[in-house]
Amino acid sequence: MLSRYFIDIAQDLARAEVELSEKLRRPAVFFDRDGVLNHDSGYIFEASKLKWIDGAREAVKAVNDAGYFAFVVSNQSGVARGFYQESDVHALHRWMADDMAGMGAHIDAFEYCPDHPEGALERYRRVSDRRKPGPGMITDLLGRFPVDADHSILIGDKGDDLEAARAAGLQGYLFSGGNLEAFVKQHLEPRSGNAPKPG
pLDDT in tens, 62-73: 999 999 999 999
**Relative orientation angle of helices 56-65 and 86-101, to the nearest 10 degrees:** 70
pTM value > 0.75: yes
What residues pair up with 31 in beta bridges, in sequence order? 72, 155
- Separation of alpha carbons 163 and 157, rounded Å: 11
Question: Which residue out of 34, 108, 115, 148 is catalytically annotated?
Answer: 34
Q: What CA–CA distance (Å, rounded) separates 134 from 184?
A: 23
Q: What is the pLDDT of residue 3?
A: 60
Cα separation, 142 vs 144, whole angstroms: 6
Q: Residue 189's pLDDT band (boundaries 50, 70, 90)?
A: confident
Q: Is 32 a catalytic residue?
A: yes
Task: Give the three-state DSSP class for 19.
Answer: helix
Of 8, 12, 32, 140, which one is the catalytic site residue?
Answer: 32
pLDDT at residue 12 greater than cutoff 90: no
Q: Determine the pLDDT at residue 195.
A: 43
Residues forming a β-bridge with 138: none
**What is the arithmetic mean of pLDDT over 150-155?**
98
Closest CA to 172 of 188, 157, 185, 153: 153
Q: Is 157 noted as a catalytic residue in this protein?
A: no
Band (pLDDT 50/70/90 cuts) for residue 196 is very low
Backbone phi and psi for residue 173, each to the nearest 5 degrees, phi listed first: -130, 135
Indicate the residue type of 99. Answer: D
What does the alpha-carbon distance between residue 62 and residue 107 come to, in Å, rounded to a whole number?
12
Whole-number pLDDT of residue 107: 98
Please give the DSSP secondary-structure letter assigned to residue 9: H
Calculate the average pLDDT of the chain.
Answer: 90
Higher local confidence (pLDDT), 45 or 4:
45
